[in-house]
Structure 1
């Protein structure tokens, strides 16, 4: 058992971050190995746009769970690479709609088989160990419960109770 494993919940966020970084590094290595100029951090936008003709930056922000400025920054990055473009909504002149450019659609065509292969490979990994197969349902349960659990409030209350009794 390594240090991180032995510290349990004290380093839970750090372990999730390390695992995420390792996973995304592997995914980017796949794209690079196939000669595809794509970054895993673009995935949510590409996926959502692959399912929709266009989306507003607000919709992208809400569906990906990132702040509006973060979504806007990502869209600006993708626009500078000429992978997406924005147009003003005919319904609401304040709303910018994001859609693929021809170059973005061509890139999407290249990455769709990679997404399929990732899904199959990760399913094979999950099938190799029952504990791994539990990770996605457990992560979903944690995300749902963490929203309402109020960890900071509970820790502070615990500290106050312990302080009174000590």
Structure 2
């Protein structure tokens, strides 16, 4: 067992980050090997826009569960690459709607087969081991439970209890 496995939940965030970075690096390697200039971090926006004609930055922020400034920064990056454009919402000029440019639509067509291949390959990987097969449902359960569980409050209570026990 390595250090991370020995430390259990104390390093859960670090382990998830390491796994995420390794996975995204591998996905980016796939795009590069196919000669496609696409970054895996763009996936949520590309996917959502592939399912919608346009979305506001707030909608993208809400659906991807990232801050509005983070979503705005990503959209600016994609705009600078001429992959998306923004227009004022006809119903509310303060709202900016994001949609693909022609270049963005062309890139989407290139990456759709890659998404299918990634999904199929990951399904094969998950089917190869029953523990891996339960990974996505376990992550969903952890996300749902973590949102409802006040970790900092529980830790604070345990620290207060430990301090009061020392003072007895």
Measured against the shorter chain, the TM-score band is over 0.9
Number of paired residues? 166
Q: For residues 66-77 of structure 1, what are the structure 2 equivalents within 5 Å?
A: 66-77=66-77
C-alpha distance in 1 between matches for 2:52 and 2:4: 41
- Aligned residue number for residue 120 of structure 1: 120
Residue-by-residue CA offset, 1:56-114 (whole Å, 9 max, x unaligned): 00000000000000000000000000000000000001000000000000000000000
| SS, match of residue 7 in structure 1 | helix
| RMSD between superposed Cα atoms in Å | 0.4
Residue-by-residue CA offset, 1:128-154 (whole Å, 9 max, x unaligned): 000000000000000011001000100
Structure 1 residues not aligned, in runs of 5+: none
Q: TM-score, normalised by structure 1?
A: 0.99
| SS, match of residue 86 in structure 1 | strand
Q: TM-score, normalised by structure 2?
A: 0.98
C-alpha distance in 1 between matches for 2:12 and 2:163: 25
- Aligned residue number for residue 81 of structure 1: 81
- Aligned residue number for residue 59 of structure 2: 59
| SS, match of residue 99 in structure 1 | strand
Query: How much does 1:10 deviate?
Result: 0.7
Structure 2 residues not aligned, in runs of 5+: none
C-alpha distance in 1 between matches for 2:75 and 2:10: 35
Residue-by-residue CA offset, 1:10-30 (whole Å, 9 max, x unaligned): 100000000000000000000
- Aligned residue number for residue 41 of structure 1: 41
C-alpha distance in 2 between matches for 1:158 and 1:100: 50
Q: For residues 123-162 of structure 1, what are the structure 2 equivalents within 5 Å?
A: 123-162=123-162
C-alpha distance in 2 between matches for 1:103 and 1:145: 41
